[in-house]
Amino acid sequence: MKSRLNISRGKKKIHYIYVLRKMPYVDKTEEFFKIVEKLSNENFNLRKSRNITQDTEVSEFASKITDLLQRGGQKLQKLERCVKQKGIFNDKTSEIEELTYEVKKTITDATNYLDALVQYTYSLNINNPQGRTHVDNIVSSLKNRLFDFTKKFKDVLHIRSEHIKKQVNRRKMYSYTSNESTFNNENYKFTPLQDIDIERCPHTHMKTRVTSVKLFSSVFRTMTLCT
């Protein structure tokens, strides 16, 4: 014992270890690992529940936007059919205006939901690169769908504008033709007797007088013979 103590005087570390080995102790190793495992599971479940909540929110936003674009797509197709109908008297103006309003509202609502989704994704603290890529892909896909929907709507409005221009030109043409036929049609010209310019038509006037004299002479001769 003395030799060990003498050795430990120069090496305090060895002395402390020797003393600790002689002290009574309770083995807490198993309990320690249980606590570590429990804390690890709690943190994992917390992260898991947070990811589930985040995925649910993203899915709800995406579902709303998708539903809006699907229902709006049906109205856009109906609007396109109405716009492409030709004919001056086959213009469904009231229905076209109503469908145009509804499609515009669809674009506005979908844009607002998409902006809210983008802001929500910015607020997420996603450390997993795969999770971030997944969310970014969802947002990118919805943006592309909304862009295509808006572009098609603009194309339909352009077709509508061109048809209106053609209809206006046709109405002007028909109106001009109708006016010309009313006032310049040879079949409807009429020149009253009092409108004849006798000075400019002396031959006509003379012929009329000669014919009248001949007719009077003939009648007078007939009456004389009868007498």
DSSP state string for 41-88: HHHHHHHHHHHHHHHHHHHHHHHHHHHHHHHHHHHHHHHHHHHH---G
State the pLDDT at residue 40: 61
What are the phi and psi torsion angles at 7 (to 5°)? -65, -40
Q: Are 113 and 68 in contact (CB under 8 A)?
A: yes
Distances (CA, A) of 155 to 20, 27, 109, 135, 142: 86, 79, 20, 31, 20
What value does the mean pLDDT take over residues 73-86? Answer: 90
At residue 94 the predicted structure's pLDDT band, cuts being 50, 70 and 90, is confident
Nearest to 73 by CA among 103, 43, 53, 93: 103
The rounded distance, in Å, linking the Cα atoms of 62 and 77 is: 22
Does 37 have pLDDT greater than 70?
no
State the pLDDT at residue 106: 95
Residue with tokens 């929500």: 120
For the domain covering 2-180, report its CATH number: 1.20.58.70
Does 77 have pLDDT greater than 90?
yes
Q: How does pLDDT run across 157-210, given as a tens digit for each residue?
A: 999 888 888 877 777 776 655 555 554 544 434 344 444 444 444 444 444 444
- The domain spans of the chain are 2-180
State the pLDDT at residue 70: 94
Handedness of CA 103, 105, 109, 112 (dihedral sign): positive
Burial 182-203 (b: 16+ CB within 10 A, else e): eeeeeeeeeeeeeeeeeeeeee
Q: Are 141 and 147 in contact (CB under 8 A)?
A: no
Q: How does pLDDT run across 95-151, given as a tens digit for each residue?
A: 999 999 999 999 999 999 999 999 988 888 777 788 788 888 999 999 999 999 999
State the pLDDT at residue 108: 95
For residue 25, the SS3 value is: coil
